[in-house]
Amino acid sequence: MIAYLSLFKLKSEVTLEKLEEMMSQTRVQLLRVPEVLTVKTGKRVNPNDPFAWFVYLEVESMDKLVICQDDPHYIKFREEVLKPNVAEKEATAFEMEPRKDVKYS
């Protein structure tokens, strides 16, 4: 099982209201992707944290993550939610199953 975590720094013009809308759009669009098992998104609690927003996805494998990112709903999410609002992104994937060799993820 793969956990894919993306952290975002937002453009200065993104308001709290806009961020709330982005969070809703993220859930709606990414849950339409068949490979996505779980979607979580949230905003920072501490204003001193560098990343204002995160998106967390769970998929079965790295292959499924690639398929997910090629899905039209994911592409729409990138174009409509991320591109106009995100200044910077960091993303990484984690294997969640104990004792599973990550080369088989």
CATH number of the structural domain spanning residue 38: 3.30.70.100
Q: For residue 103, tell me if it sits in a domain.
A: no
Domain that holds residue 17: 2-97
Asked if 61 and 8 count as a contact pair (C-beta separation under 8 A), the reply is no
* Residue 84 domain-assigned (yes or no): yes
- Mean pLDDT value of segment 1-28: 97
Residues 6+ apart with CB under 8 A from 55: 5, 6, 8, 26, 30, 39, 40, 41
Tokens for 76, please give them. Answer: 């729409």
C-alpha closest to that of 24 among 80, 88, 91, 84: 80
The total number of structural domains that make up the chain: 1
Band the pLDDT of 99: cuts 50, 70, 90.
confident
pLDDT in tens, 35-59: 999 999 999 999 999 999 999 999 9
Cα–Cα distance between 96 and 105 in angstroms, integer?
A: 10
